[in-house]
Amino acid sequence: MNFEEMLKEMETLRKIMEEEMLRDFDGLQKQFDDGNLEGKWNFEPIDEPGMKGFIARGFFSTPNTPKIPTLPNMPKIQEPEMPKLSDTDAREPLYDLSEGDDSVQLLMELPGVEREEVKMNPRGGDLEVSAKNFHAIIKLPKGAIYSESVPTELRNGILTVTIPKIKGVEL
């Protein structure tokens, strides 16, 4: 069997499956209309280029189906609680430090943090970043000098800091 014949067989099989599915859905719809099935059901046909089929939403049951009894002594399942962070609990945020010839760029994930909550302090050759429950001390490359005048932006939870490098400076 060559590739062309295999594709033709696959297309024939797809058409047969589609016809059977349509008959099955028509049969279900008839059972609803006749009152043999109860519930809410909605069939939405899909007929777009490269996409054919149905979206079926809902539920159904047969009339007089015995209901499954609930067990009175069954404990209620509770979802586990996420541990709450106290003010002293801090985690290190994800960050990326990329070094160019003239500057170093820091990208740091700080979800749920506002710009005014971000504190940055130079510590020798390091940069300390704190915000809400986030804390990191980042080792800066040689020659990178942080000052409060460096360009800083916080957008969509991503902090971007561009730190200039001064050539010939050893920290």
pLDDT tops 50 at residue 171? no
Q: CATH number of the domain that 144 lies in?
A: 2.60.40.790
Is the same domain home to 55 and 100? Answer: no
The number of distinct structural domains making up the chain is 2
Kindly report which listed range (10-24, 56-70, 104-118) carries the lowest average pLDDT score.
Answer: 56-70
Q: Examine residue 71 and state whether it is found in any structural domain, yes or no.
A: no
pLDDT tops 80 at residue 145? yes
Q: Examine residue 39 and state whether it is found in any structural domain, yes or no.
A: yes
Is the same domain home to 104 and 57? Answer: no
Is the same domain home to 155 and 99? Answer: yes
Long-range Cβ contact pairs of 13-21 (< 8 A, separation 24 or more) = 18/52, 18/53, 21/53, 21/54
Q: In the predicted model, what is the mean pLDDT of residues 55-76?
A: 62
Q: In the predicted model, what is the mean pLDDT of residues 55-73?
A: 63
pLDDT in tens, 72-114: 665 666 655 655 555 567 889 999 999 988 899 999 999 999 9
H or E element in which residue 24 lies: helix 3-34
Q: Which domain holds residue 25?
A: 3-61
Q: Examine residue 70 and state whether it is found in any structural domain, yes or no.
A: no
Q: Examine residue 86 and state whether it is found in any structural domain, yes or no.
A: no
Terminal alpha carbon distance of the chain: 72
- Taking residue 119's Cβ as centre, other Cβ atoms within 10 Å add up to 10
Q: Examine residue 155 and state whether it is found in any structural domain, yes or no.
A: yes
79 forms bridges with which residues in the sheet?
none
Tell me the whole-structure pTM to 2 decimals. 0.48
Query: Which of the listed residues 39, 61, 83 is the one where a domain comes to its end?
Result: 61
pLDDT at position 55, please?
A: 74
Q: Examine residue 66 and state whether it is found in any structural domain, yes or no.
A: no
pLDDT in tens, 115-126: 999 999 988 889
pLDDT in tens, 4-16: 888 889 899 888 9
Q: Examine residue 8 and state whether it is found in any structural domain, yes or no.
A: yes
Query: Which of the listed residues 61, 84, 111 is the one where a domain comes to its end?
Result: 61
Give the span between the Cα atoms of 161 and 147, in whole angstroms: 11
97 forms bridges with which residues in the sheet?
106
Q: In the predicted model, what is the mean pLDDT of residues 114-139?
A: 91
Q: Examine residue 48 and state whether it is found in any structural domain, yes or no.
A: yes
Give the span between the Cα atoms of 113 and 85, in whole angstroms: 15
More confident residue, 65 or 38: 38
Q: Which residues of 132-171 are buried (b: 16+ CB within 10 A; e: fewer)?
A: bbbebebebeebbebeeebebebeeeebebebebeeeeee
Q: In the predicted model, what is the mean pLDDT of residues 135-143?
A: 90
pLDDT at position 80, please?
A: 58
**Mean pLDDT taken over the chain:** 80
